[in-house]
Amino acid sequence: MKKGVTLFLALSLLLILCFAFTSCESTVSEKIELQTYKVVIPLEATTTEEYCAENFVLALEERLGVKLEIIRDDMPQTEKEILIGNTKREESNTRDVEMGKYQLFLIDSKIVIKGSGIYIGGGAGALLNYHLEKTDEGIFLKNMPTTDKNRTFYFESKAQDVVFMIGDGMGHNHIKMAEWDSLDHFVAQDFPRVGEVITQSQSVIDGEAEYTDSSASATAMSTGTKTLNGYIGIDKNKGKLLNIRELAHLSGAKTGVLTTDALTGATPCGYLCHLDSRYDDEALFAQIQDLIENRQVDFLAGEVDNELTDKAKEALHSFTGADSFFLMIEEAHIDKASHEKNMRRAINSVIRYNDVIEYVAQFTFMHPETMLIVTADHETGGITGSDEVDFYAFTTSNHTNANVPYFALGAGVDYIPYEIDNTYFFDLCKSAFED
């Protein structure tokens, strides 16, 4: 073979390898005076941009011991800035970000982070977890990209933390109704895994009830076992079942339950108690008190209403330093409003649920070992309608057997089937707490 042909083939192979491997991309590795930086967000930042910046700054302080100030882009420009979102700084004027992607790159002494919707968190999470390294000599930028390439964020393959979120009574049309009314976008719809959940209880399967109640549904999700309506944490023969929060606690994880309902409500009790009557508040309260006194649960808060997002922040960051954790978060008033056929209250409850999802999603990007599941225990109200007819309405004040949605983001969620039974969630979540 002639030398020219050999050289041409060698150069071609080199070009192919450079396109195939990111190691050929221009990157920077250098010591960085991170404490001299400011985090900049737009003056009129989206909630996602604000939550991304807030979670980034908190995680940075937890991880590297550096506390940075968040400022708006109407403040005077400084030399060293971490730009999050569509700021007015010239460096933020990059190519469009593709759906499900983020951009992260260094230009001069500015770090630029952008993303489509929630995936802006991918840029901040990548910087925090994969491009900053603390050594005895200081903090270093490691393999920091220098171009505005669209990138995909990769979570850990196995979860070690789980956040399980339940919109009590929320069906597909609750989400559509909220978006039709005033909600810009239900953010969980952008999660990489979405699907349907079958909700029938053992009572429905046996033909003894028309639809599940919250206690049977919570028990199915938390223990992986169908049970009768009215039962909490026990099977149809009244045998005690191990729930996912208890399994997490036994593995050494921190655990918590947060709800806008009372702590003795059916859904939170599905993660706390074992009883054959969801209506025996005195017995349920006694069991919860025992858990507190014996330090078997680390965070409990009920009836938090409009403090839901703030309490979620408190819970998540109270687990800082823990090797592992499990947290259940419930928005209960979607169900309560739907029982009353109160459309305004139901919509407001979906909007409140969306806000806390948005915050936890950004937390998940900063902690890529976290699994985030967003779902519902059942549908309430039998909502019908569509945007085309510009009309939504309740058809019942009861629960229904309609499938409810699930949305999954984070570690260990890549292979969830599209349609699952609600008992599937126990096996999915327990993988984080078993060797």
Q: Is residue 296's pLDDT more than 90?
A: yes
pLDDT of residue 21: 44
The string of pLDDT tens digits covering residues 77-91 is: 999 999 999 999 999
Q: Whole-structure pTM over 0.85, yes or no? A: yes
pLDDT of residue 19: 46
CA distance 264 to 288: 8
Q: Is residue 261's pLDDT more than 50?
A: yes
Residue 387: pLDDT band by 50, 70, 90 thresholds?
confident
Residue found by looking up tokens 């890549």 in the block: 414
Average pLDDT of 337-364? 98
Average pLDDT of 370-396? 93
Q: How far is CA 214 from CA 102, 200, 266, 428, in A?
A: 38, 11, 6, 20
Q: How far is CA 328 from CA 179, 235, 269, in A?
A: 25, 21, 11
359 contacts: CB under 8 Å, gap ≥ 6: 51, 55, 309, 312, 313
pLDDT of residue 320: 85
Pick 358 or 2 by higher pLDDT.
358
pLDDT of residue 9: 53
* Residue 169 burial class via C-beta count within 10 angstroms: exposed 0-12, middle 13-18, buried 19 and up: buried
The HSE-up count of residue 216 (CA atoms within 13 Å, CB side) is 21
The full set of domain ranges for the chain reads 26-145, 161-430
Q: How far is CA 32 from CA 148, 170, 342, in A?
A: 20, 47, 55
- DSSP helix/strand/coil, 47: helix
Helix-strand-coil split of the chain, %, nearest 5: 35, 25, 40
pLDDT of residue 431: 94
pLDDT of residue 321: 85
**Which CATH code for domain 161-430?**
3.40.720.10
The CATH topology of domain 26-145 is Chitobiase; domain 2 (3.30.379)
The string of pLDDT tens digits covering residues 32-77 is: 999 999 999 999 999 999 999 999 999 999 999 999 999 999 999 9
The string of pLDDT tens digits covering residues 93-104 is: 999 999 999 999
The string of pLDDT tens digits covering residues 234-253 is: 999 999 999 999 999 999 99
pLDDT of residue 386: 83
pLDDT of residue 390: 80
pLDDT of residue 13: 53
CA 55 to chain centroid, in Å, comes to 13
pLDDT of residue 12: 53
* Residue 115 burial class via C-beta count within 10 angstroms: exposed 0-12, middle 13-18, buried 19 and up: buried
pLDDT exceeding 70 applies to what percent of the chain? 94
Strand partners, 195: 406
180 contacts: CB under 8 Å, gap ≥ 6: 387, 390, 392
pLDDT of residue 18: 46
Contact (CB, 8 A) for 361 and 120 = no
For the chain, how far is it from start to end, CA to CA, in angstroms? 56
